[in-house]
């Protein structure tokens, strides 16, 4: 193995690490936020588009667009090494960071729910209930008047 091939192998090993980090970022987003199905599909497509862009950039930058088997082996090896060693710590750290960053937002949302939306919903529910009772009463009395006439 020449020095150039070793450089290329290590470059694509790092590319595998980057793809593993990207994979973990999407996993963290899924754990941090509850998503509906179509958002999950969009995230999957975005992950694969970004992965393809990283791979194309790396192949053209480090190996002039030439494809070799050892390139794909080093990418897979990089991903596997990352997932077996650093992934767990990366996820733990970033989930804690997300919780710290989004805690004030979560407090604001809970405040808005409890102090503004819940009383508004209760108010409109009461108004609707009273209005519907009046409407039913009007309909009943209107039917009675029609029968009497």
**How many angstroms from the chain centroid is the CA of residue 124?**
33
Nearest to 57 by CA among 19, 97, 100: 19
Same domain, 65 and 7: yes
Percent of the chain with pLDDT over 90: 40
Same domain, 71 and 126: no
4 vs 45 pLDDT, higher one: 45
Write out pLDDT tens, residues 26-85.
Answer: 888 887 777 778 888 898 999 999 999 999 999 999 999 998 898 999 999 999 999 999
The predicted pLDDT at position 146 comes to: 58
Is pLDDT at 1 greater than 70 in this prediction?
no
The predicted pLDDT at position 143 comes to: 59
Same domain, 81 and 111: no
DSSP state of 114: I
Same domain, 79 and 108: no
DSSP state of 113: I
DSSP state of 33: S
Q: Structure tokens of 88?
A: 């767990």
Same domain, 27 and 57: yes
Same domain, 8 and 70: yes
The mean predicted confidence, pLDDT, of the chain is 86
93 lies in some domain: no
Q: Which domain holds residue 109?
A: 104-149
Number of domains the chain is built from: 2
Are 49 and 19 spatial neighbours (Cβ–Cβ below 8 Å)?
A: no
Same domain, 59 and 115: no
Same domain, 10 and 81: yes
């Amino acid at each position: 193995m020449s020095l150039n091939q070793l450089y290329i192998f290590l470059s694509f090993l790092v590319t595998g690490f980057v793809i593993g980090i990207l994979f973990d970022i999407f996993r963290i987003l899924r754990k941090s936020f509850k998503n509906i199905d179509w958002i999950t599909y969009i995230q999957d497509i975005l992950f694969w588009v970004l992965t393809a862009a990283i791979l194309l950039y790396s192949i053209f930058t480090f190996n002039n667009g030439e494809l070799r088997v050892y390139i794909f082996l080093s990418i897979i090896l990089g991903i596997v090494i990352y997932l077996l060693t650093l992934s767990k710590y990366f996820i733990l750290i970033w989930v804690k960071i997300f919780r710290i960053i989004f805690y004030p937002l979560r407090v604001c949302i809970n405040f808005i729910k409890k102090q503004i939306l819940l009383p508004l919903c209760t108010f409109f529910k009461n108004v609707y209930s009273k209005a519907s009772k009046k409407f039913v009463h009007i309909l009943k009395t209107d039917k009675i008047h029609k029968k009497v006439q």
